[in-house]
Chains A and B, each alone.
Chain A
Amino acid sequence: MGLLDSIFRTPPSKSAALAKERLQIIVTHERGNRRNSPDYLPALKKELLEVVRKYVPIDQSQIKVHLDREDGCEILELNITLPEEEQRVVQQRPNDAGV
């Protein structure tokens, strides 16, 4: 608008827009966690851990199970970190792995 405006007007702050954006992301994420996470995930994780342990010694923190939902499509993501040294041992003695 006028010259006075450009001189005296405080620059528009964008912090509310930033707050809204951050909230939308975190709230959507947290809602997803509490509403979409099926009951069987912890049990599934436990059983997977038991199966993998038959072959490779790993602990709870080395297995990650994550379920994502995108456009009605469910993606089950399974991430197992094998310990490097143990892996070598398995490779060297392949017969032991099948016990």
Chain B
Amino acid sequence: MNGNTPYIVVNDLQKHYKGGAIRALDGIDFSINRGEVVVIIGPSGSGKSTFLRSLNLLEIPTHGDIIVNGTNIIEKNVNIDEHRQKMCMVFQHFNLFPHMTVLKNMTLAPVKLLKKPQAEVETKALNLLKRVGLSDRAYAYPDQLSGGQKQRVAIVRALMMEPDVMLFDEPTSALDPEMVGEVLEVMKELASDGMTMVVVTHEMGFAREVGSRVIFMDDGRILEQGSPADIFGNPQNPRLKDFLSKVL
């Protein structure tokens, strides 16, 4: 793949419920280049989480194409599990494995899936924990961590797979306000390291500061997209104006 082709291209993506009566996604066209940070904003129920989760097929789209690195992952003979190893996801509710230590949470997938030696993986995990300021919690269980710590662990757990792109599904929404900052800090660092990211969030500050592009979604459609400066400084769509007036 040469650098000119977008890393992910989505064509006319649709997700129907009840035989088409409800359209969670109603024809999404989207693309993202390597190194881009796309932030998706919009009111709740706008379909932004559904869209993000469609990108690694946690939601099964009813119609449309998702072409990742040249492969349409909707196709029948595509091994979706291999693709997911390159498109790791961070969830609103962290979803750490409660029966494993932090270290085990991080090393499970690389050891079992990438067949890397345990010692090497552990060293890497400890380094990553150090980077996010959690080196002393390697042997703790998730129940013993605060929300912000859990989410930082979830992010480094995803990083252990050395993904090409990271999907963030409202990563700070379940956190107490004082913990939001520590998580966003880690995400900013990732962005500055050149990680390709798709982030669904209500953190407008993060969108403005870190996003290379901001997308506004409502009713299962992309209503407006552009640079943070355009979206926040010069919104065109009346619904976007309305939305921004409420959240800012």
Partners in one complex: no
Residues of B that sit less than 8 Å from A by CB: none
Residues of A that sit less than 8 Å from B by CB: none
